[in-house]
Amino acid sequence: MRLLLDTHIWLWYLQGSDRLSVELQGKIEDPKVQIWLSPISIWETLMLAEKGKINLGVPPQQWISDALKVLEVREATLNNDIAILSRTIQLPHQDPADRFIAATALYYDLVLATVDRNLTASEQLTTLS
């Protein structure tokens, strides 16, 4: 399995949140599962920290650097095709982070780990909660 972590799933896993399902935690820890992360999740984490919506306990750049060492992820590089796909994917809202993450999952043929109902309801995406 190739699993793209939505931003909240990445944060929940690394912060040991009990909001993360046991099944999803097991998949993330399974050495046979490839874990992917979009640079948009890095950007979104920085934005959430800057706005005071999350507290990482250390400067956000340091937290991200440490997090990328704790959980090995493959970078789902953004490209022109993903940018175009982000505007054509059928989602009920215009949130740019969600659109880029969803488009990334489609482009790379990844299962998207998310509990975001706007994404899990999409018939275009394969998701895991």
Mean residue pLDDT across the chain: 97
Q: Do residues 49 and 60 lie in contact, with contact meaning Cβ atoms separated by under 8 Å?
A: yes
Q: Give dist(CA 99, CA 17) in Å, integer.
A: 25
Average pLDDT over residues 81-108: 95
Q: At residue 104, does pLDDT exceed 90?
A: yes
Cβ neighbours for 112, distance < 8 A, ≥ 6 positions apart: 3, 4, 6, 101, 102, 105, 119, 125, 126, 127, 128
Q: pLDDT for 49-93, tens place per residue?
A: 999 999 999 999 999 999 999 999 999 999 999 999 999 999 988
